[in-house]
Amino acid sequence: MYAVIETGGKQYRVQKGERLRIEKLEAESGAKVNFPVLLISDGSSVQVGKPHLAGAQVTATVHGEEKGEKLTIFKYRRRKGYRRKTGHRQQYTAVQIDDIKA
């Protein structure tokens, strides 16, 4: 059984017991969070919501914060003496899927 959830403006295909990194949530480590469900499949049938499935719920446990890889942003204009170098490091929340309820 798998489900498609929506969080942080992105959609994720999840299964029970799976661990994934999602956009940063304002939740403590060890807290339970619920996600809206867009689709549920049990292998033989598929239920699709418009846009969310009523009564369906995916529960997950927060396992802490993580940081993504470092990105370097370099802006440059030739012959103008213009150079700008900045960086970025995205923050994520690690969650483990506990239960999928149709």
pLDDT tens readout for residues 40-53: 998 899 989 898 99
- As a whole-number percent, the residues of the chain with pLDDT over 90 amount to 89
* Residues 50 and 19: beta-carbon distance below 8 Å: no
Q: What is the mean pLDDT of residues 67-90?
A: 97
pTM value? 0.82
The predicted-structure confidence for 13-49, as pLDDT tens digits, reads as follows: 999 999 999 999 999 999 999 999 999 998 899 989 8
Q: Domains in the chain: how many in total?
A: 1
**How would residue 95 be classed by pLDDT, with cut points 50, 70 and 90?**
very high
What local confidence, expressed as pLDDT, does residue 43 receive?
85
Tell me the residue range of the domain where 68 lies: 2-101
Reported as half-sphere exposure (CB side, CA atoms, 13 A), residue 28 has a value of: 2
Beta bridge partners of 83: 76
**Both tokens of residue 18?**
């799976």
**Both tokens of residue 64?**
């802490």
